[in-house]
Amino acid sequence: MTAAPAAWPDDERWMREALAEAREAAGRGEVPVGAVVVRDGEIVGRGSNQPIARHDPTAHAEIMALRDAAARVGNYRLDDCSVYVTLEPCAMCAGALLHARVARVVWGASEPKTGAGGSVLDLFAEQRLNHHTCVRHGVLAEAASRQLADFFAQRRSEQRAAAHPLRDDALRTPESCLAPDAGSTWYSDLPALQGLRLHVWDSAVQQAPASPRTWLLLHGSPAHGALFRRLTPLLAAQGDRVLVPDWLGFGRSDKPKKEGALTDARHLAVIEELLDRLGVARSHTVVTAHGDAARLALALQPERLWLINPALQASAACREWLAGMARKPQWDIAASLPADGALGEDFAQWQAQFPDKGYRAGLRAWVAAQARWLDAPAAPAGAAQLLVSWPEHPQWWPAAPGALPPAARQHRVPGGDWLPLQAPAPLAHEALAYFDMPKP
């Protein structure tokens, strides 16, 4: 393989853009590979894998990105550009990159079956060719590999499910197990759902929004959307729209029986498709995540991000809980959480969403993904506005102010690990002021 030059300071930034393109491909049912073309610090071309949708065997991410860039700059030569792609290029794409005369090629995961950057052959190191380019490999390789692994695990699970479909009542927690919830909406026709039903609490059911601002509240484990039941009315009272989805595998959303059907890639695709369906403007959306939902909120790369008790690191007790939930299919959730008498009813509801161990595939998949993420957490970066609310008395997720960019707004709130229930008023006060937007 061609010797890799020293890392450029923005390599990870641009690779995250390529990973976002790959997520879009996964949401369409294509193998998740994404690419971007960068010139002078700006993206001039984007592409994602789409040979299935286009009925085109050449529609690989790199090819689509090169076509986009060439059209934008008005030249088929891209000799002052760098290309970032999540997977090692195949021979076709490596040839196209060389023909385009790109200055630099950076990729994430290796491709042991078709890779033409050193895994199977190395076209970039072929001295007989009349053009050569610099290459760097392994940038965010773990994230890129995880995207691919999650996608193929989901595909295998869907194939098994199609062969042995489940009844609706086997997928859904009986309503009698959960507290009443005015404001429920349901979606089952988003492509990433594959026919499953997603539950979303939407303030617009009860009151038409009078503000352009939308709050997307993402619960972590082992809770469901009712974690925000005391916070949502404070946000909606401003005329804002508030959306609280239950992740697949949690709350009132369907609960597939196989962990492979409940990957982070699928969760992210569902959220993106939901926002598109509702016509929610990303620039006016505050993505809000509690606890270990931070990893998914960060992957969404929002412009406005609010992290509450973010699980950027975990205490020994939390790691022990993650391991226990992964290996004990009937572990009592309420009894396993740090004692808090004031939240006993809420803890009981989190237990009630899983009537028996057959409903817990989503929880097992979630805690496994969180344990992997904690080994190499992504630093919060890229949001134009970032608010972080730390509890004064955490047990599971200790504060990690050093992991945040200097521009982040940080504040402390009285309470422990479940701030949306313990301190909704100070949370809402700080967030409404920080994410203030002009009224229409």
The packing angle between helices 264-278 and 11-27, to 10°, is 80
The SS3 assignment for 381 reads coil
Q: From edge to edge, which strands make up the β-sheet containing 134-137? A: 42-48, 34-39, 82-87, 104-109, 134-137
Asked if 414 and 405 count as a contact pair (C-beta separation under 8 A), the reply is no
| pLDDT at site 163 | 56
pLDDT over 80 at 253, yes or no: yes
pLDDT greater at residue 438 or residue 17? 17
Give dist(CA 258, CA 421) in Å, integer.
31
| pLDDT at site 440 | 45
- Pick the closest to residue 169 from 335, 301, 359 (CA basis): 359
Active site residue 273: no
| pLDDT at site 331 | 77
Q: Per residue in 143-164, pLDDT tens?
A: 999 899 988 888 887 776 665 5
> Helix %, strand %, coil % for the chain, to 5?
40, 15, 40
Asked if 290 and 391 count as a contact pair (C-beta separation under 8 A), the reply is no
The packing angle between helices 61-73 and 91-99, to 10°, is 20
pLDDT band (50, 70, 90) for residue 1: very low
Rounded CA Rg of the chain: 23
Matching residue, tokens 């690419």: 35
Stretch 111-117: mean pLDDT, rounded?
A: 94
| pLDDT at site 218 | 98
pLDDT over 70 at 133, yes or no: yes
State which H helix or E strand residue 429 sits in. helix 424-434
pLDDT over 80 at 386, yes or no: yes
Q: Per residue in 160-176, pLDDT tens?
A: 666 555 566 678 999 88
Asked if 16 and 141 count as a contact pair (C-beta separation under 8 A), the reply is no
> What is the pTM for the complete model shown?
0.67
The separation between CA 76 and the C-alpha centre of its own chain, rounded to angstroms, equals 34
Residues 6+ apart with CB under 8 A from 58: 51, 92
Q: Per residue in 305-357, pLDDT tens?
A: 999 999 998 888 888 888 888 877 677 887 788 777 788 889 999 999 998 88
Give dist(CA 242, CA 233) in Å, integer.
9
Q: Is the bond into 380 cis (omega within 30 degrees of 0)? A: no
Please give the mean pLDDT across all residues of the chain: 90
Stretch 134-140: mean pLDDT, rounded?
A: 94
Asked if 18 and 139 count as a contact pair (C-beta separation under 8 A), the reply is no
Give dist(CA 377, CA 386) in Å, integer.
17
Stretch 417-422: mean pLDDT, rounded?
A: 93
Give dist(CA 420, CA 107) in Å, integer.
40
State which H helix or E strand residue 160 sits in. helix 141-163
Give dist(CA 281, CA 82) in Å, integer.
30
- Pick the closest to residue 340 from 412, 415, 427 (CA basis): 415
Stretch 103-131: mean pLDDT, rounded?
A: 94
Out of 62, 88, 272, 273, the active site residue is 62
State which H helix or E strand residue 82 sits in. strand 82-87
Stretch 87-94: mean pLDDT, rounded?
A: 97
Q: DSSP letters of 201-240?
A: EEGGGTS---SS-EEEEE--TT--GGGGTTTHHHHHTTT-
The SS3 assignment for 122 reads strand
Asked if 144 and 109 count as a contact pair (C-beta separation under 8 A), the reply is yes
| pLDDT at site 57 | 95
- Cα dist. 31→152, 172, 225 in Å? 8, 29, 31
| pLDDT at site 195 | 87
N-to-C CA span, the chain: 56
Stretch 357-372: mean pLDDT, rounded?
A: 90
Question: Which range among 55-64, 291-300, 338-347 shows the weakest confidence by mean pLDDT?
Answer: 338-347
